[in-house]
Amino acid sequence: MGLTEELFTWIHEKKCQKAVESLARNGFVAQYCPTPQDAFEYIIEEATDAESIGFGGSMSIVDLGVEAHLLSLGKKVLNAGDHALTLDQRLEIMQRQLSCSLFLSGCNALTLSGELVNIDGVGNRVAAMSFGPSKVIVVAGRNKLVDGTVEDAITRIKNWATPPNAKRLHYNTPCAATGFCGDCDSPDRLCRITTVIDRNPRCSDVRVLVVNADMGF
Ligand code: SF4
């Protein structure tokens, strides 16, 4: 590792650890993961007794490669992201995710004050993050950290998360074409539900893994 990379990793470690401390103060079970492999191993361990595992459509989770591993272990996986499924089939999976044993999700932005900020189009992901599943594990890469307010986090999402998501999903939105938010009224608009989880939800077990690596967007 060169000196630049070493120092880059060091400064991100400090930011990640500050986020973990804030999350713990806010009642979450929070853990610093130096590498994505650490997050992978945490999830696989926590999935040992899970009967059904829901996926919230997160690129961070996709990049970890946990789904294939869980399937190889014979686990029941609930993933509505397969576009070969009909809309009704996808909606049914989303509803079943609300009562699954373990729900896996990314996070669009995580403030250093320990607030999880997300924007959804359907709302199934943020619903499951808040209530329903027996356990929720949120994976937040260092690129999701925001040293600022909830408003700064929302700005981060609309500038860095939604445009590539809209492009990935072939949505007809200004951000998918230009890379910048146009605060659109498009029928394809992704930004319909904005949530801030600033304390561990009262009846939920939400774990947050803060990873010192860029994950998702
Ligand atoms: S409001 Fe529209 S243009 Fe802006 S980020 Fe959301 S979907 Fe994209």
- Give tens-digit pLDDT for 100-112: 999 999 999 999 9
Among residues 207, 209, 175, 205, which one has the least CA distance to residue 189?
A: 175
Structural domain spans, the chain: 3-147+198-211
How large a percentage of the chain has pLDDT more than 70? 100
pLDDT at 82 over 90: no
Q: Decide: 166 in ligand 1 pocket, CB within 6 A.
A: yes
Ligand 1 nearest atom to the CA of residue 119, by list position: 6
Instruction: Kindly state the average pLDDT of the residues 191-213.
Output: 97
Q: Decide: 176 in ligand 1 pocket, CB within 6 A.
A: no
Position 1 scores a pLDDT of 83
The answer to whether 123 and 200 are in contact (CB under 8 A) is no
- Give tens-digit pLDDT for 112-153: 999 999 999 999 999 999 999 999 999 999 999 999 999 999
Among residues 117, 178, 172, 103, which one has the least CA distance to residue 145?
A: 117
Range 3-147+198-211 has CATH code 3.30.1490: no
Distance CA 198, CA 90 (A): 29
pTM, two decimals, is 0.96
Q: How far is the CA of 106 from the centre of ligand 1 (A)?
A: 19
Q: How far is the CA of 190 from the centre of ligand 1 (A)?
A: 6
Q: Please state the three-class secondary structure of 168-204 as a single string.
A: HCCCCCHHHHHCCCCCCCCCCCCCCEEEEECCCCCCC
